[in-house]
Structure 1
Amino acid sequence: MYRPTTSSRRTGVVPVLAFTGIVVAVMQTLLVPIIKDLPELLDTTPSDATWVLTATLLAGAVSTPIMGRLGDLAGKRRMLLASLAVMVVGSLICGFTDNLLVMIAGRALQGFAMGAIPLGIGLMRDMLPPEKLGSAMALMSSSIGVGGGLALPLAALVAQHADWHALFFGAAGIGVVAIALTLAVVPESPLRAPGRFDLAGALGLSLGLVLLLLPITKGSDWGWGSGTTLTLFAAAVVVLVAWGVMELRREAPLVDLRTSARREVLLTNLASIMVGVAFYAISLVLPQLLQLPTATGYGLGQSMVVAGLCVAPLGLTMMLTAPVYARLSARFGPKVTLILGMLIIAVGYGAGLGLMNAAWQTVVISVVIGAGIGLAYSSLPALIIGAVDPSETGAANGLNTLMRSIGTSVSSAVIGMVLANTADHVGGVAIPTMHGFRIAFLIATGAVAVGVLLAVFLPGRRPAALQLRASSEEDAGLARAEEALAAFRGRVLDPAGAPLARVKVTLIDGRGRQAGGALTGPDGSYSIAVPDGGSYILATTARGHAPHASSATHHGEPGAVAVDLSLAPRAEQVH
């Protein structure tokens, strides 16, 4: 793979991109400490106040796959900066208003920050050597938990001792810092996907997601059996099915549904929903349990700040698991780490059923569940990246991030409904019960159990090996490891025998489906792992050259089959 960064600049890329992920998470949890006060602060009803949270969720869900695709087409760094800039504008709008509608608009703009996660992962893939990519992606993926964990106590501290608008000015400030660091440290990736932006696909997906997520997030207010809720669900199905049919017919779709339907991509995305459900459940239960008065008999009577500090280890543990994930994944593969992570989550929630009697016990629960979520979240981008072409990284990871968001939305809706239906009503106030908290933990445990079942059917071979390249001495060790895999390897040359760099080599199986891809290094070398034995087509494309396809056969046994490829200039350029 072409990597334009020097070693010194590479060192700074990872922490800067991880910091942008933390900024994204802060936008999601910024208002959690003052949720109960929003109706009074905005002079509105509790039902209308929830739109301040829903707007960010909807905008984030819509923008994530769109920004990912735009990043593949126009430049990932450029779109990353655009996402952060829109977020800063939204934060400033919120900071200067008490009007509900203006606040909703500002919070929607804050949601655009969600696109930074897939864009950051895509930039890492394009720039970093394979031996450093695993831990870097793990850190980027877990940064969501880190930001969420740190934001809770800090936001609570600000809300207790300053005007609540200071939360938004602080968000704008860290957004500006993220933009400055990105401009200074992160170079643009030269890798671009062919084709044009699918505007119709973007509009169709946006409409479908809004129609789907609106009833999920507002169903408890409207009533799950109400005409509005059911109508929106039905409309979402119709729109998303029509969108899918349209995308299948497009030459350059917003989301390549054929790629998304591959077993490894589909199962990873479904498992992502389950992990999202589990991730959000603890954030909904523990803060409430910690802040309930001791007079209830089970509440722990802690302040808003202490409650945030007790939950903060969830995010910190996620960050600390990144290097652990890198070692485990290098040895056993991301499938194993995903399953291990979900099993640890299940253990944490299972233990939590009996560990809710003291503040220190909630810290233990947060640490265990955080470790499991860290391993699971770190595995997801590695599984996706190993299954898609390099030019589709942004869009594919955008879709995966969207699946996590859908999981958290479902978790919020279902657990919110459970806690509401099991609450005790005292003086017109609904007080969550311990029974409701335990049911919420059981739901999260069931979700990860489904996730483990899905992950069991993922391919066992490490997908990261699909993109191994031996174009320089730093990749030589990986090249030797690749000998143990079934692969095609060779060089792409021009008619005079000179190597051609940055040539896209696509592996196509006997059914005409893409089975892998690579981008040649400076010496023209490429390497693509083969999923099974059989006949394949190696298609090569490069700017200024005529596309070419060569047939090749691999028996599926460990080892590389050497196939050198030739790519001639376009006829009109030959003199």
Structure 2
Amino acid sequence: MKRAAKLGPVAAIVGFLAFVEFTSGIIQGYYTPLLTDIARHLGVHDADVNWLEGSQLMLSALVVPAFAKLGDMVGHKRMLVWSTAITAVASTALAFTDVFWVFLVAWALQGFYVVWLPLEIALVWSRSRSADRPAAMTRRAAGLLVAALELGAIAGALSAGALAEALPMHVLLLVPAVAVIACFFVILFGVKESPDLTGGTLDTGGLVLISLALIALTGGLSFMRLNGPADVLSWALVALGVLLVVPFVRYELRHPDPLIDVRMFRSPTLWPVFLTAGLFGVSVLGAQAPLSTFARTDAATYGYGLGATSFQTSLLIGSYVLSLVIGAMLFPFVTRWLSPRVALIGASALVSVGYLLFLPFHDAYWQALTNMIIAGIGSGALVAALPAAAAAAAPSQQTGVATGLTNSVKTVGGAIASCVFGIALLGAAGEAATGTAGSFAGYVTVWLVCGLTAAVAAVVLAFVPKLAFSDAPEVEAAAVR
């Protein structure tokens, strides 16, 4: 009875948060089968779809550190409410414009939803802290939340594919906005605030420095995509972005209440998690648009692609997302027999195998489906496991920041990959100069980079202490102070 009483508040909040993640899934799944149609609606090239993805990922990278820190300070629920309100306004705006730059701004602002999962994991951890096995409980909750996210993505992808031929684009784009508005009221009235808040003031100096670094880095990559890899200005901006990290780190080390406690990157338990999140972001965020546009590319016209319709593409994406659900749900069960560390290594290996299989097997619909399911199972496990692992390993007053960092570095990895993939898909020597399809060499680059970065992540995780992310007393004692 005593244990059930402790589980009660966690179970109650997970129910409401599952709806929030279901809505997040709708956002992430609904647009993907429509990307080619959106490109035609806006009158742009397939490769320009990466501008949408890249801009949203860049803004997300700026938002997550601030909102994660503010969550620890003034309330995780409060920041959920604010981020959902902004997402609702941006989602609504998408339905009422066909001007590319306006659509681009609204699409970027919609990216505020990426802070939802880190804030939710922090809410769950704050309530499970008094339970017997808080790390295991958080892993189970994270698995349920990610499962809800991916089920929402399936619902979004399938509904988009089914409605694509029946509704005009303006009405079609209004569907996710309705879901986000409903989500806003669920959070407002159904979610209770975290019991323990740190208070304090926001480190605006650190926020400005890291924002400038991210803007310079992603801006340089964007210019590189426009002007080519030989452009000096592009490389100068990329170098500036990297160099700005140095004064940011020095500033944060001196600050009494830093935006990001960079000392966490020294932790033998946390630094491999953060690096893995960045490498994982390359495939889970940067490769979504290329996978969709490759499926829609007509092999009879260009010599490659699957020639899939909107509905067939939605089925492909839906199957991939269903495999993410399976991976997310399996992870907490697998960790009953294997350590979380070994399970994470296995998940990264599955992602690597799935994408590398595209190199020899990409000509048939069933081949792409098989590859995506393999990668999806591993990806689902990582989406659920990384923030839960960070929460278990972080200091109690830095839970929101730690879970937010997994999302931030994942987003940065995705933003960089999106820009690089955009350059690759434009092709060299006029390969895709006719028509609107991306270059085949670009798609090969996407598959190769995604597979190799996941393989590196598996190797990096081998350096994590053997009992990391568990509820063992010795692990808790080794957490960052």
- TM-score, length of structure 1 as denominator length: 0.74
One-letter code aligned to 1:155: A
Give distance in 1, aligned partners of 2:232 and 2:320: 39
**Counterpart of 1:313 in 2: which secondary structure?**
helix
- The one-letter code of the counterpart of 1:107 is W
Cα offset, 1:28, TM superposition: 4.7
CA distance in 2, matches of 1:240, 1:87: 29
Q: Which has the higher strand share?
A: 1
CA contact (8 A) 2:146 2:325 kept: no
**Structure 1 residues 300, 101: CA separation in 2 closer, same or farther (over 3 Å shift)?**
closer
- The 5-angstrom pairing of residues 55-74 of structure 1 reads 55-74=55-74
Q: Distance in 2 between matches of 1:334 and 1:178?
A: 32
- What CA deviation, in whole Å up to 9, does each residue of 1:542-561 have, x standing for no partner? xxxxxxxxxxxxxxxxxxxx
Determine which structure has more spread, i.e. the larger CA radius of gyration. 1
SS at match of 2:165: helix
Tell me, yes or no, if the aligned pair for 2:81 and 2:187 is still in contact at 8 Å. Answer: yes
Return closer, same or farther for 1:332/1:6 CA change in 2, 3 Å cut-off.
Answer: closer
1:137 equivalenced with 2:142 (yes/no):
yes
Partners of 1:342 and 1:372 in 2: how far apart? 6
Per-residue deviation, residues 359-417 of structure 1 (Å, max 9, x unmatched): 22322222211111112222212321122112211111111101111222232233333
Tell me the CA shift for residue 72 of structure 1: 0.3
Match for 1:307 among 309, 313, 324?
Answer: 313
Q: Summarize deviations over 1:435-483 as a string: whole Å, max 9, x none.
A: 5534432222211111111111011113232xxxxxxxxxxxxxxxx5x
Tell me the residue number matched to 1:21.
21
> CA separation of 1:262/1:98 partners in 2, compared to 1, >3 Å: closer, same or farther?
same
The answer as to 2:401 corresponding to 1:395 is yes
Q: Which residue identity lines up with residue 104 of structure 2 in the other structure? A: I
**Partners of 2:218 and 2:29 in 1: CA distance:** 18
Give the direction of change, closer, same or farther, for the CA distance of 1:487–1:8 in structure 2 (3 Å limit).
Answer: closer
**Does the residue aligned with 2:230 lie in a helix, a strand or coil?**
coil
Contact 1:63 1:115 in 2 (8 A): yes
State the one-letter code of the partner of 1:13. Answer: I
Gaps of 5+ in 2: none
Higher RCO (CA < 8 A, seq sep 6+): 2
What's the offset of the Cα at 1:55?
3.2
Q: How does 1:334-349 map to 2 (within 5 A)?
A: 334-349=340-355
Q: Does 1:86 align with 2:91?
A: no
Which residue of the partner structure matches residue 406 of structure 1? 412
Q: Is 1:361 paired with 2:367?
A: yes
- Cα 1:170–1:17 change in 2 (3 A) is same
- After superposition, residues 112-261 of structure 1 pair within 5 angstroms as 112-128=112-128, 129=131, 130=134, 131-141=136-146, 145-261=150-266
Aligned match of 2:337 in 331, 339, 342?
A: 331
SS in 1 for 2:307: coil
Question: For the residues of structure 2 that align with 1:80 and 1:117, how far apart are their CA atoms?
Answer: 9
Q: Give the conservation status (yes or no) of the 8 Å contact 2:13–2:191.
A: yes
**Percent identical residues:** 25
User: Which residue number corresponds to residue 111 of structure 2?
Assistant: 111
Moved more, 211-220 or 113-122: 211-220
Give the Å deviation of 1:308.
Answer: 1.9
Q: For the residues of structure 2 that align with 1:421 and 1:45, how far apart are their CA atoms? A: 13
Cα distance per residue 1:242-266 (max 9 Å; x no partner): 2221111110010001123322222
Q: Provide the rounded CA distance (Å) in 1 between the counterparts of 2:371 and 2:233.
A: 38
User: Normalized per residue, which structure has more helix?
Assistant: 2
Give the superposition deviation at 1:165: 2.4
Could you report, residue by residue, the CA deviation over 1:59-113 in whole angstroms, capped at 9, with x for unpaired residues?
2111111111100000101111111011111122333333444433322321211
Residue from 269, 274, 281 that aligns with 1:276: 281
Range moving further from structure 2, 394-403 or 405-414:
405-414
Given the superposition, is the C-alpha separation of residues 7 and 167 from structure 1 closer, same or farther in structure 2, using an over 3 Å criterion?
A: farther
Give the deviation of 1:226 after TM superposition. 1.5
| Alignment check: 8 A CA contact 1:338 1:379 kept | yes
Q: Deviations over 1:204-238 (max 9, x none)?
A: 22222122222334532232232331232132123
1:345 to 1:55, Cα distance in 2 relative to 1, 3 A: closer
Residue segments in structure 1 that go unaligned for 5+ positions in a row: 466-481, 489-506, 517-575
* C-alpha separation in 1, matches of 2:217 and 2:422: 17
Distance of 1:281 and 1:52 partners within structure 2: 11
Please report how far the alpha carbon of residue 133 of structure 1 lies from its aligned counterpart in structure 2 after TM superposition: 1.9
Q: Give 3-state SS (helix, strand or coil) of 1:353's partner.
A: coil
Q: Quick one: structure 1 residues 385 and 415, their matched pair in 2 at CA, closer, same or farther if it must change by over 3 Å?
A: same
Structure-2 separation of matches of 1:428 and 1:154: 32
Aligned to 1:449: 455
The aligned counterpart of 1:415 is 421
* Aligned with 2:293 (options 265, 272, 288): 288
**Do 1:5 and 1:187's aligned partners in 2 also have CA atoms closer than 8 Å?**
no
Whole-Å separation in 2 of the counterparts to 1:386 and 1:458: 14
Letter in 2 for 1:321: G
Residue aligning to 1:519: none
Following superposition, the deviation at residue 340 of structure 1 comes to 0.6
2:95 is matched with: 95
What's the secondary structure of 1:352's corresponding residue? coil
Contact 1:27 1:111 in 2 (8 A): no
- 2: distance between equivalents of 1:27 and 1:219? 29
1:46 & 1:359 partners in 2: Cα distance? 20
Q: Distance in 2 between matches of 1:313 and 1:49?
A: 22
Structure-2 change in CA distance of 1:188 and 1:161 (3 Å): same
Say if 1:342 and 1:452, in contact at 8 Å, map to a contact too.
yes
Q: Distance between the aligned counterparts of 1:289 and 1:43, measured in 2?
A: 19
Equivalent position amino acid for 1:291 in 2: R
Give the letter for the 1:116 counterpart.
W
How many residue pairs align between the two structures? 474
Q: Cα distance, 1:198 vs. partner?
A: 1.1
CA contact (8 A) 2:9 2:127 kept: no
Q: Measured at CA, do residues 184 and 423 of structure 1 come closer, stay the same or move farther in structure 2, by a change above 3 Å? A: farther
Query: What letter matches 1:117 in structure 2?
Result: L
TM-score w.r.t. length of structure 2: 0.88
Is the CA contact (8 Å cut-off) linking 1:222 and 1:228 kept in structure 2?
A: no
TM-superposed CA distance for 1:36, in Å, is 4.2
Q: Is the contact made by 2:71 and 2:79 (CA closer than 8 Å) also made in structure 1?
A: yes
Could you tell me how far apart the structure 1 residues matched to 2:453 and 2:49 are?
Answer: 29
Contact residue 385 and residue 464 of structure 1 kept, 8 A: no
Q: 1:336 to 1:247 in 2, by over 3 A?
A: same
Please point out which of 429, 439, 452 is paired with 2:435. Answer: 429
Cα-Cα RMSD: 3.1
Measured in 2, the distance between the counterparts of 1:159 and 1:339 equals 39
